Structures are given as structure tokens and as C-alpha cells.
Chain A
Amino acid sequence: MNAEASLVPGGGASDWAIDLSDVAKTYKGKIQALKGIQMRVRRGEVFGLLGPNGAGKSTLVKILMTVIRPTRCQGTMLGERVGAKGVLRRIGYLPEHHRFPSYLTGAQVLDFYAAMNEVPRPDRQARIPELLELVGMQDWGKVRVGRYSKGMRQRVGIAQSLMNDPDIVLLDEPTDGVDPVGRRDIREIVSELRRRGKTVFLNSHLLSELEMVCDRVAILVHGEVASQGTIDELTAGKERYEIQMAEGQAPGQIEAALPGLVRFAGEGDLAKRVGGRGELATGEWVEVDHGLVRVGTTDPAAIQPILDRLRQHGAVIRSIRQHRPSLEDLFMEAVGEPEGVGAEVSAKQKSAAKPKKNRGAS
């Protein structure tokens, strides 16, 4: 998919919280982590960046936060050049695998990093209890973070990213190590931030999490944006009807029923075919896969002739459902995996593609 073509149209310069036209990073040893990223994040939206491990997600976020020096960078954040230190005052950041000094209490962590963001002391004092409560850590503020569980550290990390009342919040794997209840809480926090008009940039490999909260997503593969847009935009043209036959149908029965109605690609003995792809006279694609017929349309009228023809040929239809690709389907398609392989593959990639040290981290 062409990344350029899927940029959100119609946005003026001031509408973009993050506007990247060309970001590249080549590490020593010629490892190309990013190959010219083009990406736009609208103000006030929740934007999800996804991609397999090693795709360059964390590298991109670290470049935005001046942690890594880019090889090439053209872009702005809140209208200021990426790399300018001043704009960081207006950005909240939770790094992946962050580590807070174990001798600090939760409240001291919030105070210290907010002071590093030049938040005045009275504001810090006022926000600490408020944000600890927001992340459900109000009873743990005076306890040293060395005694926190991973989920608790993650919650305090999110609170710390909000201490400077940022316009943009960049959360790198915020649900990492958090239990299901915690994940739900974090989703609610993200939704709350959207309600307050904040721009939230989420970096995650948990696709279902992103799907639930993101307005727009970008899929990063091998240091390039494979696609970006709203879920609707990304799934446009990929929605379909699926007609499932009952078990025990004779092989080729479906293919035998469809000629005349569906024009199959190529020639051959249809009776011997157990699958194939063709299209209706009205242009919708049709795919036959064993006892399953997929029709590339959202219009129920378009599948009626197929149903009629199948029933005329004695086929028993078990179910008809409208299918909308999930984010996971889009992701798998972008990384070149077949649909349905899902989370298992994602987990395998995570362990196999773990880069050495920090270089090329996604």
C-alpha cells in the first residue's frame, strides 16, 4: 500500500501535532532502522504505531524525543523542528522498558521528572496527587518504586508522562507487563486524554488494544510506513461477505454452480477445481476456498444471485456473515503473513527479532 496516498487529506499545517516528511536512521554497521518515514498525526487524535519487533517503532519515537540522533530528519512536532529541545516541554513521554531510580518514591519520581520538564514547583505539588489518583496509585505515592510491581511502575510512568500537562503524549508499549484490568484502565486514561484534547501517540504490538482506542494507525515494516490512516480507510475495499456451506458438500459443487454468474480467471475444468478467484459481472471479486465463498462487497444485494444459484444447485448454506478485517488482519497483511496466523506469529517474531542491545529496537 502506498503510504503517501493514505495520508489524511485536507489537513492544514496547524492541524498536525506531528508532521514527518522524511526521517531516516542508519546505525553504525549500515543497519537501516528507518528508511525515510512519512507520517502525520492530527492534533487531538489517538494515533497508533504498530509493527513487528525490529520495524523501527521505538527508534522513531526516540528520534522524536531527541534520545537518538537521526541520520536524516525533516519534520515538525507542534510546529517546531524535530530535535528542538524546547518543544519537549509540551510533550509527555513514557519510554519502553523505562527504569526509575529505585530510591525514589512514586511521588518523588513524578516530582523529579516534572522538574526536569521545568514544571514550576506549585504545579508539581498540585498535579502529583491528582495524577496518582488518575492512574490508581494514590495509596502508593510514598512508597519507593523499588517495591513496585511492573504494572505499578507502568502506571506511575504514565502519570509522570502527564505531569507537564503535555499537548502530545507518546506512550511506548504502555500496556507492557500490565494485567487485563490495568490495560482497561490505561485504555480509559487514553480515552480521557482524548476527551481533554490531547494528542496521544501509542506505540504497541498489542493490536487489539490499539484497535479499541486509536483514531488512526500507521503500520511500520522494515523501517518503512507500509500503510496509515483510519481503520475504515485501511479496511476500505477489504470488507466482504462470507458464505459458508454445510459440511459434506461434493467437491467442485460450488464451482459448478457459479459459472455464468462468476467469471473465473484462467481456463480449466471447473468441475475439478476446489478453489479459485473470479469476479461478478458487476465487478465484485469472488473467491472460492473449499466450502467457503467470499464476495468482495458490502452490498447485500450483490450476493443474492450467488445465493440463488447455490441453492438451485442443491448447496446447503450454513452461514452468511459480513466480514470486516481486523487491525490484526491488516497488520499481518502488511508484514506479509496470511490472515489468521495472528498473535502466535506476532509473539514468535517478538522473540526472534529482538535486536542486539538498543540498536534497531522497534
Chain B
Amino acid sequence: MITQTIALFVDAYRELNAKKLFWITMMLSGLVVLIYAAIGINEQGIYFLWFKIPTPVPIDSTTLPPAILYKQLFLSLGIQIWLAWVATILALVSTAGIIPEMISGGSIEMLLSKPISRWRLFLTKYATGLLFAALQVGAFTAASFLVIGIRGGVWEPGLFLAIPLVVVFFSYLYCVCALLGVLTKSTIASLLLTVLLWCGLFILNTGDGAVMAIRVQLEAQRDAYAATIDRSRDAAAEILAARRETAGEPPLPEGYVATDEDMLTITPWIKNVLDNRDEAEESLGKLRPWARWIYAAKTIVPKTGETISLLERWLISMADLEAMAAADEEGEATRIDESSGEVTLDQTEVQMRAQEAIRGRSVWWIMGTSLVFECVVLGAAVFVFARRDN
């Protein structure tokens, strides 16, 4: 059994080795690593090779530690753009043909006539399809590990989590590609339909991100309004108590909470704030069904974006993010314009809230449900493959 598995993997490696695209992707990976290795940071600022990069706000090694810079570069340039987009497309192009070629006439007879069950043959072939992604991300992460170690001074073994994460991310797409390969027997059809599904997932993700951003923004506004109202209420109670004392009237009962009327009498501008708070609440109410539908839809489909973002969650802690936010001196504090009642939010705080909302989604929900999807798709593919005549 192990002999067959090894043979299939060795064969897959030979196939990759014979493909120009595999080596082109490898070289491009090396280029990406070289590009971000060429970026440097010191007390004077950020450099690309010997050239200083102008930044709108001063960034240097005191505000942004080199280790964080390189981790961010690894995550944003290396993982989010290079591996999760460009290299994934190249990997799909390279591996989409594995299943259709396996089941093509002349090839499949050679494999099915061997003492290996159909489901094991299919799943092992599927696993060999992930080899492309594993080798690419493995080489890329190892090179990045060295760059971050040498240039950033931090030897971060957590980087290697990128290997299973990116492979799992790729497997979400590749399982669909494999099912389509069995159904259509066409490399082009399975590739195009997989990319179409990926685009669908991207749109769903973007919608989810937009709804989440609006929700966080509205919640931040509502909370800012509520805080202002609470302060106004306390102030109104104090002023009322003082007025009574001055007028020689009996004092207010202990723990008296000023009513809206009290506030409006003492601070008339609070009306706008009250209205704005109600408006924010109403908007949030309207948004909730959308958020629920999107959440439900995302629960049953693979969560490609979130899976990749898990790496960021694990590599950059909330403490790191807070430290980076604290270093951002340009940030504007949340304040309310008394004449209009409009709130100006501290965007750093909003971003932190967004991060908390993103990180609030459990790993089980992100990866567990995605893997359930993958199992269902693979189950369907194996079922079709095991029953077909060749």
C-alpha cells in the first residue's frame, strides 16, 4: 500500500518537474522574496535597496519594528497577494489536468487494473495535486523565514504555519476542480468553472467584508453617541441637583438618572445626538438580516479569505496591533460636533474593532466548515469516479 502511495507521489513530482510552469512559479516566488528582502528599515525611514521610500507619515524602526515590518510584508505581499492569488492561479493551471488526464482513455486502464481501490487511487491522486501548492509554499516560506531572521532579527517558526494553511486553502478550490474534472473530463472546463466559483467566493467575501465594515462603523458611532448621551445625562443630573440646592428645593433622590427631557432642557444640542443614535440603531437593525444571510451562506462554502487571514491572526497579536496603533500619532480622537450632533470617529479604534470582529470568528467556523464542504465535494467526486465505466 505504501509502495503505491510513494509511487504516485514520485510520479506527481516527476510530472511537476517536467512542467515549465512549475519552475517559472518557483522562480517568481524567489523574486518576490528578493523584493521584500530588498526593503529595509532603520531610524531614518524605509529603504528599497539604497533608495529611501517617501511615506505620507514618517515611518521608521522606532514606530515600526523591523520584525513586524517583515512579517507584514510576508503576510500582505507574500501570502495575501502572491500565494493566495497569483501562485494559486498558476497552481490551478498546472494541476487542473491531473484528474482529467488520469481518467482519459489509455491511462485509466493502466491504473485501475492495479491492486488499488478506486477511492484510494482517486484520493491519492487528489493529494498529489496538492503537492504543487505544498512545494511552492514550502520553498517560499523557508526563504521568507531566512529573510525575516536575517533582516528583521526575529526567527519566527510560526511562519511555517503558512504551509498547512495555504495548502488547505488551495485544497478548497482543488477539490472542486477534481469533482469537475471527473464530471467533465475536461481540463479547461474544470479550470474555468473552479475559477468562476473562486470569483463567486471572492464576491461573497467582499460583501461580507463590506457589511462587517459598515456594521463596525455604525456600532462605533452608536457607542460614541451613547457615551456622549450618558455623559450628558450625568451632567444634567448634576446640574439639576445644583439648581435645586441653589433654589433651596428638596434634593433629588439618591442615584437619580436624568431623563431625556432633563437633558434636552439643559443641553438642547443633545437632541441631534439622540436622533443620530436612533438612526444608527435603525440602520444596524436593517443591516442585521443581510449579515445573517451572508454569514449563513459563508458557513456552507469554503472560506478562502479567512483561512489565509488566520496566519495574520496567529503571527501578529492584538498587542502588536495596539502597539502599532499607539505609534500612529496622526490618529484623530473620537469627538462629537455639538451643533450637528455628528460624530467623528477615531479610525484607529474602528480598525481595532474590525480586527476584533474578524478575530472573533472561530477557527472551527473558518476551517472546520470549509473542510466539511471539501469532504462533501470529494465524497461526490469519489462516488462518481468509483461508479464510472472506463
Residues of A within 8 A of B (CB): 27, 62, 65-69, 85-89, 91, 93, 95, 97-101, 103-104, 108, 111-113, 115-121, 357-359
Please tell me which one of the listed residues A66, A103, A112, A120 contacts residue B113 in the complex, with CB atoms under 8 A apart: A66
- Cβ contact within 8 Å between A67 and B11: no
- Cβ contact within 8 Å between A99 and B14: no
Contact partners of A357 in chain B: CB under 8 A: 105
Contact partners of B11 in chain A: CB under 8 A: 101, 104, 112
The verdict on B108 contacting chain A, using a C-beta distance below 8 Å, is yes
- Cβ contact within 8 Å between B6 and A115: yes
**How far, in angstroms, from A243 to B219 measured CA to CA in the complex?**
110
Contact partners of B387 in chain A: CB under 8 A: 69
Task: Select the stretch in B114-122, B247-255, B371-379 that faces chain A.
Answer: B114-122
Contact partners of A103 in chain B: CB under 8 A: 14-15, 17-18
- Cβ contact within 8 Å between A95 and B113: yes
Contact partners of B116 in chain A: CB under 8 A: 85, 116
Q: A62-B390, A104-B14, A112-B7 are in contact. Are A97 and B105 (CB under 8 A)?
A: yes
- Cβ contact within 8 Å between A113 and B390: no
- Cβ contact within 8 Å between B4 and A85: no
- Cβ contact within 8 Å between A67 and B114: no
**How far, in angstroms, from A294 to B275 measured CA to CA in the complex?**
116
Beyond the given pairs A69-B387, A85-B115, A120-B3, 14 more chain A to chain B contacts, judged by CB atoms under 8 angstroms and listed by A's residue number, are A66-B112, A66-B113, A67-B112, A85-B116, A86-B115, A95-B109, A99-B106, A103-B15, A112-B7, A115-B4, A116-B111, A117-B114, A117-B115, A358-B105
In the assembled complex, how far is the CB of residue B20 from the closest CB belonging to chain A, in whole angstroms?
A: 12
Q: A68-B390, A97-B105 are in contact. Are A116 and B14 (CB under 8 A)?
A: no
- Cβ contact within 8 Å between B115 and A69: no
- Cβ contact within 8 Å between B105 and A99: yes
- Cβ contact within 8 Å between A88 and B390: no
Sorted from nearest, which 8 A-B pairs have the closest CB atoms?
Answer: A99-B106, A115-B7, A103-B18, A95-B109, A65-B113, A116-B114, A88-B115, A67-B112
The verdict on B110 contacting chain A, using a C-beta distance below 8 Å, is yes
The verdict on B389 contacting chain A, using a C-beta distance below 8 Å, is yes
- Cβ contact within 8 Å between B115 and A65: no
- Cβ contact within 8 Å between B14 and A88: no
**How far, in angstroms, from A234 to B10 measured CA to CA in the complex?**
49
Q: How many A-B residue pairs have CB under 8 A?
A: 86
In the assembled complex, how far is the CB of residue A92 from the closest CB belonging to chain B, in whole angstroms?
A: 9
Give 18 A-B contacts (CB < 8 Å), ordered by A residue.
Answer: A62-B390, A65-B109, A65-B112, A67-B113, A87-B115, A88-B113, A88-B115, A95-B109, A97-B106, A98-B106, A98-B109, A101-B14, A103-B14, A104-B14, A112-B10, A115-B3, A117-B115, A358-B389
Contact partners of A119 in chain B: CB under 8 A: 3
- Cβ contact within 8 Å between A113 and B14: no
The verdict on B283 contacting chain A, using a C-beta distance below 8 Å, is no
- Cβ contact within 8 Å between B113 and A93: yes
In the assembled complex, how far is the CB of residue B113 from the closest CB belonging to chain A, in whole angstroms?
A: 4
**How far, in angstroms, from A88 to B108 measured CA to CA in the complex?**
15
The verdict on B340 contacting chain A, using a C-beta distance below 8 Å, is no
Interface residues of B in 40-64 (CB under 8 A from A): none
**How far, in angstroms, from A359 to B105 measured CA to CA in the complex?**
11
**How far, in angstroms, from A121 to B2 measured CA to CA in the complex?**
12
**How far, in angstroms, from A118 to B3 measured CA to CA in the complex?**
6
Contact partners of B114 in chain A: CB under 8 A: 88, 113, 116-117
**How far, in angstroms, from A292 to B314 measured CA to CA in the complex?**
96
- Cβ contact within 8 Å between A116 and B4: yes
Closest to A68 in B: B389
The verdict on B104 contacting chain A, using a C-beta distance below 8 Å, is yes
Contact partners of B14 in chain A: CB under 8 A: 101, 103-104, 108
Contact partners of B117 in chain A: CB under 8 A: 85
| CB 8 Å contact bits of B71-110 with A (1 = contact, 0 = none) | 0000000000000000000000000000000001111111
Contact partners of A116 in chain B: CB under 8 A: 4, 7-8, 111, 114, 116
Contact partners of A88 in chain B: CB under 8 A: 113-115
In the assembled complex, how far is the CB of residue A97 from the closest CB belonging to chain B, in whole angstroms?
A: 5
**How far, in angstroms, from A362 to B106 measured CA to CA in the complex?**
15
Please tell me which one of the listed residues B3, B17, B110 contacts residue A100 in the complex, with CB atoms under 8 A apart: B110
- Cβ contact within 8 Å between B3 and A113: no
**How far, in angstroms, from A358 to B18 measured CA to CA in the complex?**
29
